[in-house]
A and B are shown apart, each in its own frame.
Chain A
Amino acid sequence: MSDKPPIKSATEAFEKALNEKGTYILKLFVSGMTPSSLRAIQNIRDICQKHLAGRYELEVIDIYQQPELGKQEQIIAAPTLLKKLPAPLQQFIGDLSNTEKILVGLNIIPKTPADERKD
């Protein structure tokens, strides 16, 4: 895997995830307070509150403020939502307006054949 968070924090996060079964660790990277950034923040907050209430950690990071994280977390696009846990690692890019896609991606609702990618 490409992302290499410090082992300690990964282990911690993993243990935490084991303890609190089904806890989602999410990081949202945005590039300043653009309309699309604001939309993304609003969208993920809505999803979390509605579907993951009480079992998620969401961190919003402005890559302009912490550009060094770009390399560390393999951020290319903005906005980018990283699902660190539960495994597997998943990236959601865009303003997170496609709620159904996110719910499928986060394994909150099951996949439907229409979502299968050909490539």
Chain B
Amino acid sequence: MKISHGISALPKSPTGIKGFDEITFGGLPKGRPTLVSGGAGSGKTLFGMEFIIRGAVEYAEPGVFVSFEESEEDLVANFKSLGFDLVQLQADKKLYLDYVHIDRSEIEETGEFNLEGLFVRLGFAIDAISARRVVLDTLEALFSGFANQFILRSEIRRLFRWLKDRGVTAVITAERGSLEGGLTRHGLEEYVSDCVIALDHRVHDQLSTRRMRVVKYRGSTHGTNEYPFLLDEGGISVLPITSVGLDYAVTNERISTGIPRLDVMFGGKGFFRGSSILISGTAGTGKTSFASQFVYNTCKNGERCLYFAFEESSSQIVRNMRSLGMDLEPLIGKGLLRYESVRPTSFGLETHLAKMIQIITEFTPSAIVIDPISNMINVGSGYDVKIALMRLVDMLKSKLITSLFTSLLQAGRDIVDEHVGVSSLMDTWMLLREIESGGEANRIINIVKSRGMAHSNQLREFVMSDQGIEFVDVYTGPAGVLTGTARVVQEAREKTEWTRIQREIERKKRDLERKRLVTEARINELQARMDSDQEEIEKLIQEHQMNSQTASQVSTQMARMRMADTQE
């Protein structure tokens, strides 16, 4: 093991292949050979050619493409269909094509030899256009041309050294080994020690998925996972979704659910922007309607939404939502809303994911809907689906795109069981159910979880009308939330009860009033009695005073008359 002492990072040659430079943090090791191994049709030649063409066009590094399998004419024709004009590039001295024809039936080995002819050709090609890049596709063809493996191997070893000495960034392709663990059929990996990339093309349940993995990259960090990649009109697109990780920034900004009373249940403001939302429910519970209501509202606020419909065509959704009072057509017309309808079984899971990422990157929506993810399970095992979704969710979160997933629940199956994998990826989980009671089915919703916010734990009944989804008032009874007619019955019952109590109160009030009147009458009577007593006492006092005065006067008069005392 070498220990780096602050030496500047390994110089790298950007390939220009979408996503590849991200997973290798800059491209292929500059001035060194890289081995690209893969089975038939795994995209080795395209990888090599795209490396050369993008190098020539985008990075001003002319390249030599040595083909051991396809003739120049074939290469020109094949890459024309991918939009690359090899003839023009050759004329501009940006590209040098050399087809090395090896036919065992024409070759006799008659003694000691070396591959100097190939070296001279290669050197001539490099000098002709001052090439900085070289692709050898597929060098292993040499093994079928020469019987003397001993000479061949030492010459290949010399070739790799020679390429390094020339300072060209080289890509050598090789067939994947048929044996388990064998990266290449002829063990070329033992000569290339700097960088090895494996391409894979697997078919599972009749669906093909292409994957790429950086097996080793000496002196550099790199993503170690298998990355799905696409081959299309634009060449190779690697989707480094696993490289996202969990270090994304979050926001406290909220985004409305599109249903005011549902917003209230989420603390009055709705979902967090950039969060992942799962709406699961049995068939016909209104998952698509909830999703559409969200999309409709978001688009109305002038934000772009992307809707992946795996079950219905866009026109069907537009028609159906019109009955809920949502006119989605003008939003599509304005370019705010985009539908991508595709059958999940059309592609493999990874390809689906890759295409979705490609569309998302191109359309840059602020919210996406995947309706439903349960259909994805058809094209992958539960674990694969979880991994794929995890990558998708991580990628969306890093871009602060709110994602809403719907999931169909099988009636009669345990929801926890069914969502064990998926729900942990979700920040918010809403459950739609039909409750059967009294001979009818009514739809209810509840929030199973919502990370990072206070939310209502109330089961709510909702109805779908031409006004959209409407939440109705809550009626709870001993058996839980009352819905439908049971709610109406309860409502009526409560109304009767209320009336009865109202009457009772009225009656009691009247009683009281009566009592009050009686009491008041008695108080008046007593008061009157007291008043008359008082009057009598006062009268007596007055009389007594008068009497005593009179008596005094009489006595004085009598004394004077008798002249008993001398007074005055």
* Interface mask (B105-139 → A, CB under 8 Å = 1, otherwise 0): 01111111111111011011100000000000000
Q: Distance in Å from the Cβ of B458 to the closest Cβ of chain A?
A: 78
A22-54 contacts to B, CB under 8 A, are 29, 31, 36, 39-40
Q: Which residues of A contact B101 (CB under 8 A)?
A: 2-3, 74
Looking at B98, B103, B107, B113, the one whose CB has the most chain A CB atoms below 10 A away is B113
Closest residue of A by beta carbon distance from B66 = A71
Question: In the docked arrangement, what's the CA distance between A104 and B123, Å?
Answer: 34
From DSSP, what is the main secondary structure of chain A's interface residues?
A: loop
In the docked arrangement, what's the CA distance between A81 and B111, Å?
12
B124-A96 in contact (CB<8A):
no
- Contact yes or no, B108 A101, CB < 8 A: yes
CB <8 Å contact, B106 and A76: no
Contact across chains for B108 and A90 when beta carbons are under 8 A apart: yes
User: Are B117 and A78 within 8 A (Cβ)?
Assistant: yes
Chain B residues with Cβ under 8 A from A77's Cβ? 113-118, 146
Q: Which chain B residues border A67 with CB–CB below 8 Å?
A: 120-121, 123-124
B145 at the interface (CB under 8 A from A): yes
Indicate if B231 sits at the interface (CB-CB under 8 A).
Answer: no
B121 contacts A97, CB within 8 Å? Answer: no
Q: Which residue of chain B has its CB nearest to the CB of A3?
A: B101
* Partner pick for B124 among A29, A70, A119, CB 8 A cutoff: A70
Cα(A63)–Cα(B120), bound, Å: 7
Interface contact A64-B106, CB-CB below 8 Å: no
Q: A44's closest neighbor in chain B, by CB?
A: B110
- For B71, the chain A residues whose CB sits under 8 A away are 2
Q: Is the CB of B111 within 8 A of A97?
A: yes
Q: Find the residue from A64, A75, A102 having the highest chain B CB count within 10 A.
A: A75
> In whole angstroms, what is the CA distance A92 to B110 when docked?
6
Which has the most chain B C-beta neighbours within 10 Å: A31, A81, A88, A117? A31
In whole angstroms, how far apart are the Cα atoms of A97 and B124 in the complex? 29
Q: Determine if B110 and A94 form an interchain contact, defined as CB atoms under 8 angstroms apart.
A: yes
Among B102, B111, B115, B117, which residue has its beta carbon within 8 angstroms of that of A29? B117
A94 and B112 form a contact (CB under 8 A)? yes
User: B500 at interface (Cβ–Cβ under 8 A)?
Assistant: no
Q: Are A70 and B107 in contact (CB under 8 A)?
A: no
Chain A's closest residue to B118 (CB) is A76
Given contacts A70-B121, A77-B117, 17 further A-B contacts (CB under 8 A): A2-B101, A36-B112, A63-B120, A67-B120, A67-B121, A67-B123, A70-B120, A71-B124, A71-B125, A76-B117, A89-B106, A90-B106, A91-B107, A93-B107, A94-B109, A94-B110, A105-B108
Can you list 13 A-B contacts (CB < 8 A)?
Answer: A36-B114, A70-B118, A75-B120, A76-B102, A77-B118, A78-B116, A78-B117, A80-B113, A80-B117, A92-B109, A93-B108, A94-B109, A105-B108
